[in-house]
Homo-oligomer: A and B are copies of this chain.
């Protein structure tokens, strides 16, 4: 269990039992039963030097901060409504910095129907962005805890691209520090693939359309976003559901951009896919009898989905290939471990 998961367990022990809290700490977002109906709420911090590079474009940062939070609502099957944005930043950056962050967040969240309603500013030596976002359920909530033995495991998009994008961005930043042109080309990888990987890291797309479809059509028995890494987040879904998740290596949807990058850097694409992190894709479980309906609705998801494995009796998350199985439930990021 990751330090962050242990923290959540300790925290839960501190909390009084509250009838209004349907889902408290430990899922992608909280669900609160108010007299006036269910509310789904989430919050995420982005810290300079930990979650983003110093000196990154502030508008893109704002977009990314919004996307990270939107992804949590996608993973619950909730429709985004409103958000609060707080920014701690070195005052030497001036007024234009938080305004640009806000502009990016407003645009990104606005595209999915969520409006900025307030926030806070403070000076700080290190930039920290904090967003709290809430929305409402549209169908059955997508919890982490509903997967059953025999369910099929599905994944949206192409994991590992964000991790590849981060490594590529670091290479480019190192070139820039040496005074080279800002976007040097690597001959081993096409310009289009480079853009694709960089965008996967810098400007991820939250899977709101997919989450809402799964929720509305009751297609998924459980879901989680894999922002910390496919391995560790599969482990979380397995633990919450009380099943063992088996990921099949030859089913994982590696993109050609990822393959090109991994070949250039002499990395195993599987390592990037399983433990890379920063992929705002959804991992979800589907009952065997719902698979046909899933395919019927796939056109509305806005992203391809791939069957990558299944839930079995037991616990943990493993990757299976021709040589056997290996444990992947600890592979990924923990925000309490040292900076990336």
* Chain A contacts to B: CB under 8 angstroms: 3-4, 6-7, 10-11, 14-16, 18, 20-21, 24-25, 29-30, 32, 34-37, 39, 41-47, 49-51, 81-82, 84, 86, 88, 91, 95, 98-99, 102-103, 106, 110, 115-126, 128, 130, 132, 134, 136, 335-339
Contacts and interface: CB of A to CB of B under 8 A. Distances in A.
A175 to B, nearest CB: 26
B115 A43 contact: no
Given A10-B99, A36-B37, A91-B336, A20 B130 contact: no
Which 3 residue pairs across A and B have the least CB separation, nearest first? Answer: A132-B132, A36-B37, A30-B117
Given A7-B95, A45-B88, A126-B126, 20 more contacts: A7-B98, A7-B99, A14-B106, A15-B106, A20-B115, A24-B118, A30-B117, A32-B117, A34-B81, A41-B132, A45-B128, A50-B124, A91-B337, A95-B336, A122-B335, A123-B338, A123-B339, A124-B128, A125-B126, A134-B134
A291 to B, nearest CB: 32
A120 B91 CA distance: 25
20 contacts: A15-B116, A16-B110, A21-B82, A24-B118, A25-B119, A36-B36, A39-B134, A41-B82, A43-B86, A45-B121, A45-B128, A51-B122, A91-B336, A95-B336, A120-B335, A123-B336, A123-B338, A124-B126, A124-B128, A130-B130
